[in-house]
């Protein structure tokens, strides 16, 4: 199996965590979308990372790749069998991918770290501060209210936790974390999720890549 995509992408990280939780071996091509390989272009019709190859089968999109991996390697299950819990896990995946990502990945991480470093684009601090101070706090409060136990849904890790946890790594790399005094459950939850063996080495690698302590 081969994964195409650069490590700092939250969507690439999501798939890497799914692969790690399922203990699956894979190769990775560190594809950046501004310098795509010819092979990548043929398997990602929208030009987005991640893309994936399993023998002669190819797929694009982190949600689709994760769903495929669940079907071919069902254990440990990352999608609940209970219908409502299954839908709730998908909801948190959606909340991460289309709710958090445009704020954390684009207005904060790309704006502050990737743009200035790799694209020579200037850091827009006003955009960053508005995201941090106005747009994220209600989202933190929402997640705080949803956390009833160790995981967002049921009693085990789901695709919802992996998706949310992946976006929050980019927030960490941007130098921001939810204040534990205001959002204690969320802060503790993220600490737990990010210290899992599937997440921890990826976070250490990302920090090293950007020279973050
Ligand atoms: N829904 C997609 C989103 C992937 C995505 O937006 N990836 C970003 C990098 S973090 C990308 O490839 N952006 C380049 C573009 O949209 O052209 C997924 O889950 O894989």
Dist. CA 81 → ligand 1 center (Å): 28
Yes or no: is domain 2-72 CATH 3.10.450.40? no
Report the pocket of ligand 1 as residue ranges, CB < 6 Å: 9, 11, 33, 47-50, 61-63, 97, 105
DSSP tag of 97: I
In the chain, which residues fall in CATH 3.40.30.10? 2-72
In the chain, which residues fall in CATH 1.20.1050.10? 83-209
Please choose from 14, 47, 49, 67 the residue to mutate so as to test ligand 1's pocket, defined by most ligand atoms within 8 A of CB.
49
Tens-level pLDDT at each residue, the chain (213 residues) = 999 999 999 999 999 999 999 999 999 999 999 889 999 999 999 999 999 999 999 999 999 999 999 999 999 999 999 999 999 999 999 999 999 999 999 999 999 999 999 999 999 999 999 999 999 999 999 999 999 999 999 999 999 999 999 999 999 999 999 999 999 999 999 999 999 999 999 999 999 999 998
Tell me the CATH class for 83-209: mainly alpha
How are strands ordered across the β-sheet holding 2-4? 27-29, 2-4, 51-54, 57-60
Q: How far is CA 149 from CA 25, 132, 156, 169, in A?
A: 31, 26, 10, 21
């Amino acid at each position: 199996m081969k994964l195409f995509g650069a490590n700092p992408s939250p969507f690439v990280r999501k798939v890497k965590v799914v692969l790690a939780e399922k203990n699956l071996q894979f190769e990775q091509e560190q594809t950046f979308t501004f310098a795509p390989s010819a092979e990548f272009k043929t398997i990602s019709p929208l030009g987005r990372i991640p893309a994936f190859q399993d023998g002669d089968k190819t797929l694009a999109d982190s949600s689709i790749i994760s769903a495929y991996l669940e079907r071919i390697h069902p254990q440990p299950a990352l999608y609940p069998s209970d219908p409502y819990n299954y839908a709730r896990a998908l909801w948190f995946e959606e909340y991460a991918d289309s709710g958090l990502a445009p704020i954390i990945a684009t207005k904060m991480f790309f704006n502050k770290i990737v743009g200035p470093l790799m694209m020579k684009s200037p850091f827009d601090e006003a955009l960053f501060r508005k995201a941090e101070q106005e747009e994220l706090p209600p989202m933190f409060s929402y997640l705080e209210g949803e956390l009833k136990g160790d995981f967002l849904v049921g009693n085990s890790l789901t695709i919802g936790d992996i998706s949310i946890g992946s976006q929050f790594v980019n927030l960490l790399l941007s130098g921001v974390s939810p204040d534990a005094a205001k959002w204690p459950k969320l802060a503790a939850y993220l600490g737990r999720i990010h210290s899992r063996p599937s997440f921890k080495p990826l976070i250490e690698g990302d920090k090293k890549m950007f020279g973050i302590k």
